[in-house]
Structure 1
């Protein structure tokens, strides 16, 4: 989950044209709004579109709590794929013309402060005697602060952190292949084509190491976002459009393959292949509309705030949401619809606090410290 850059970076060596200026000094506020939409989709999935711990929080299956909405809520997990498309767009924009040091400082400072705060907060809340959910061990909690818990096989504090592990691998690939040698249209196109081809080979090779590095299941979404940034630079670029189309075709295949569960009689909700394809298409089309400038009028200042809240909201909403749902619905008897709205609202308020107290204070300081040259 990346934050939209405020100003588009200048072109790097060999670039064939300057990035198109976005409204209001370079900020694509519609992209901020789309990020919040994707985060709310994921929240709907976690609160009403799946089983697991949320069943304990409601005291019964979410399918009974939301008999009509639980099926559309089940598609909310695809908000992650939309996040990956947005990430591809934003990382290409923010990495264009930057040094490797600057890129590393920007990504680390953006990702880690809110993440550290969320890990510590969830660990502390789950350790309270009144909370019915089990906290990870102190040792595992410390490993979680490195964001390497998944490859190390350590219990995770945050259920959503697997997406951050995918983001980190994308950052590394983009940094090594594009940022380090210097971003240019040709180099970005080769990166996209090479990654898609290598990911397909990795899928066929069935080699775990290649799967970890190349992420066949998620590569099309990141690459699709990068392609859409090329479209943003030049809407007449046939290579950019080719990257977007191929990425969508492959991405929808992986989404259907992993999320279509019609053959499972015990599935919580049965997603249709058409529904999955439609949500993936929505993500590509929405980012594409922003890339083409079709949503430039969606430039309301409050969307900047929405964009700032998205990442901390995404981090804390799942696990802490269980605690709020259980407290409101099971212990206080608040109706399910009101509980849902109040829980989302509470998580947004908490996200605002984390943004103000943690991100606005630590992010610029960490970025400055990491970007400063050392002799």
Structure 2
């Protein structure tokens, strides 16, 4: 095997270089898939009938849109490892908080106002004021409180992933340690799935870990190439892929068992194909095969996917029940998607982007005053948190 670079060598410094626009494209694909799933396959309450009947010609595709979240998790594994490499735990924490919360707080407030002061009933979480306040912390899942938005469950998954990475970063992230970490996490996730031990399941998230692990392995392939000892990262990709097939077929299968294949046409073989395509797309990113995707508007699409993910169901709760009896379903879906994207863009420009900047400056100053921790790449902490090398490629679920 090729010798592992030492922690201080150039090979293990934070990844730099041109923005991976292909990740922006994949982010928007994932968000559009989830939006299509919610509008055209999942939400009977919106249409007062099964949407897969209304949109039968695309029902086999829209029903697989649920797996857009899995693509988000894969991308998240890739970009989180890229973001933390070579930076302190404090810097990593600042980047996560500033990235996650401005758009999230906005979404919680919008949802609270809508359900408290309007006649909208679709997707009403029926939370008390105190429970909405707890939702602002994003920790409601830890207290058994419902999520204000149906998609917020995935943020709780992401938060636990970040904590795990933050703990790992305390020891200093090097290539050798990263490979050991991926192997240990994969083994512990498998143990959690087999034993269904509550603590192991909570910490190691066996149904989501395979995507994060594979995404991190894809980053190692992208960052180091043959220097990573190709076999090990690809072995983790293969292990993640195998566990992902099981996790995805189980997740989709639960919905099929609930309402039947007739109303949710997503047989296991379709799920296998979808997961395979998702992994192939990430492999293409890691190997540089999608570098030709350099269309600048894709950067904007990638940036607005987080508010789009958070708000699209709220938009549909207002528009679809109101106009479903007077507007053609296909046209109504197109309008709802267009409005969702427009609102997401406005939220990104007016709330998310300035909110990130505001939080990053203040939290960065706080971290600088309290002193940094050991660098995530094994070196000393920076005296003042610097922008992460991959700041533009923040996590995808968001």
Provide the TM-score with structure 2 as the length reference.
0.85
The superposition leaves residues 36-67 of structure 1 with CA deviations (integer Å, 9 ceiling, x where unpaired) of 001111111111112xxx32322322133212
Name 2:75's counterpart in structure 1.
Answer: 86
* Equivalent of 2:276 in 269, 278, 281: 281
Equivalent pair of 2:103/2:348 in contact (CA under 8 Å): yes
1:122-165 Cα shifts (integer Å, max 9, x gaps): 11112233323444221111110011112211122110111000
Q: 1:41 aligns with which of 29, 33, 39?
A: 33
Q: Distance in 1 between matches of 2:346 and 2:177?
A: 40
Which one of the candidate residues 318, 324, 336 is aligned to 2:329? Answer: 336
Aligned residues: 357
Q: Closer, same or farther in 2 for the Cα pair 1:291/1:189, shift >3 Å?
A: same
Match of 1:324 in 2: 319
Q: 2:206 corresponds to which residue? A: 216
Alignment pair present for 1:235 and 2:206:
no
Structure 2 unmatched runs, 5+:
371-398
- 5 Å-filtered alignment, 1:42-191, equals 42-50=34-42, 54-133=43-122, 134=124, 135-177=126-168, 179-191=169-181
What secondary structure is seen at the aligned counterpart in 2 of 1:271?
coil
Kept in 2, the 8 Å contact 1:12–1:182? The answer is no
Query: Following superposition, which runs of at least 4 residues in structure 1 exceed 4 angstroms of deviation?
Result: 18-22, 261-265
Aligned to 2:19: 27
Deviation of 1:264 (Å) = 5.7
Residue 225 in structure 1 maps to residue 249 in structure 2:
no
RCO higher in 1 or 2 (8 Å CA, sep ≥ 6)?
A: 2
Shift, 1:18, TM fit:
5.2
What is the CA distance between 1:16 and its match in structure 2?
6.8
SS at match of 1:49: helix
Paired residues of 2:253 and 2:268 also in contact (CA < 8 A): yes
After TM superposition, the score normalised by the length of structure 1 is: 0.90
Which of the numbers 278, 290, 314 marks the counterpart of 1:295? 290
Whole-angstrom distance in 1 between the partners of 2:354 and 2:161: 26
**Cα distance, 1:260 vs structure 2:** 2.5
Distance in 1 between residues matched to 2:21 and 2:14, nearest whole Å = 15
Q: 1:99-137 CA deviation, whole Å, 9 max, x = no partner?
A: 000000001100111000001111111223332344422
Superposed CA offset, 1:71-118 (max 9, x none): 321111011111100000000101110100000000110011100000
**Cα distance in 1 for residues equivalent to 2:149 and 2:163:** 22
**Contact 1:16/1:184, CA 8 A, preserved across alignment:** no
Residues 12, 174 of structure 2: 8 Å contact kept: no
Q: In angstroms, what is the RMSD of aligned CA positions?
A: 2.0
Compute the displacement of 1:199 (Å): 1.0
The answer to whether the 8 Å contact 1:12/1:97 transfers is no
